[in-house]
Amino acid sequence: MTASSVQTPDDVTRAQAAADFLLSKTRLRPQIALVLGSGLGAYADSLQDAVKIPYHEIPGFVRSTAVGHAGMMVVGTAKGVPVATMQGRMHFYEGHSMRDVTFPMRVFGRMGCKAAILTNAAGGINLKYGQGALVALSDHINLQGTNPLIGANDERFGPRFPDMTRAYWKPYREMTLAAGKELGIEVHQGVYAAVSGPSYETPAEIRFLRTIGADLVGMSTVPEAIVAAHMGIRVLAISCVTNMAAGILDQPLNHEEVLETGRRVQGQFLALLESVIPQIAADVA
């Protein structure tokens, strides 16, 4: 048999193999998927009955190389709710294909997750935000120059042309805003612009993004949200404004500031997640 005649597994088969592998490691059956962004990965350490699996052990997963991303899948319970948690994600700027960046979301779908909470560190464009602000995403602008659904469509995942009108599930956003009010945590709403990175944006680019309606900017989340919508997974996305975007403050941007701000808001972030996770679980039960 020649190399060209070897059949490679399709994405559904690959995702199912990874899902079966993860489920074999735990008695839990996760209802909700969590993706933890830069500086926010410590939340996974608070899970109960946790099983940790490095990405390199999971079939089909690529390594996460970004600083502040542990590269660990943690399956455990949060307030009694079974969750599958990515302690760090893959990024397009690391040189991964969109297929690899979004593969974990495909796996979550095959594991049976009906909802996903996507978190990220973002640059603040909206002048109403301060450093450390938490923002529930209401919409996005995809400026990464590609789309994870380009290529042949497999109807077993979802339709050829998925609707993105409700990519960020409004009832979950409303739950989050109400939880923040109850906890005394100010939670904003905003539109997230996704760029490829890894360089930070220029001041001129930030002025452009503000003009077209972006409140935040970052280098992740949107591919995952698109793939989740493709599979019918309901998404709550929360950004932590870890720095104000280029040109807003007269100071250079650096990744250590991103990580430090993430660490500073961990308490509020954890309290917010622990409030909304049981409500989301009740919705998908």
- Catalytic site includes residue 129: no
Catalytic residue among 116, 136, 194, 219: 219
User: Which of 121, 225, 228, 281 is labelled catalytic?
Assistant: 121
Q: Which of 192, 243, 246, 281 is catalytic?
A: 243
Single out the catalytic residue among 120, 126, 220, 275: 220
Whether the CB-CB separation of 267 and 233 falls below 8 Å is answered with no
56: burial class by Cβ within 10 Å (0-12, 13-18, 19+)?
A: exposed
Cα(163)–Cα(161) distance, integer angstroms: 7
93 counts as catalytic? yes
Q: Which segments within 224-285 are labelled E, that is strand?
A: 234-244
Tokens of 91: 């990024």
Residue in 46, 255, 257, 274 annotated catalytic: 255
> Out of 17, 93, 260, 271, which one is annotated catalytic?
93
Residues 6+ apart with CB under 8 A from 250: none
**Six token digits for residue 120:** 């990220």
Q: Are 164 and 248 in contact (CB under 8 A)?
A: no
The answer to whether the beta carbons of residues 93 and 198 sit under 8 Å apart is yes
Asked about 255 being catalytic, the answer comes back as: yes
Q: Which of 127, 118, 130, 275 is nearest to 215 (CA)?
A: 127
> Residue 243 catalytic?
yes
Residues 6+ apart with CB under 8 A from 264: 132
How long a stretch of residues is the chain?
285
Q: Which of 18, 33, 66, 69 is catalytic?
A: 69
Among 91, 140, 188, 230, the active-site one is 91
Give the Cα-Cα-Cα angle 187, 32, 118 (nearest 5 degrees): 45
Is the distance from CB of 283 to CB of 115 less than 8 angstroms?
Answer: yes
Q: Which of 38, 126, 239, 275 is catalytic?
A: 38
Give catalytic status of residue 91 as yes or no.
yes
Q: Residue 128: left if φ>0, alpha if ψ -120 to 50, beta else—which one?
A: alpha
Task: Give me the active site residues, please.
Answer: 38, 69, 91, 93-94, 121, 219-220, 243, 255
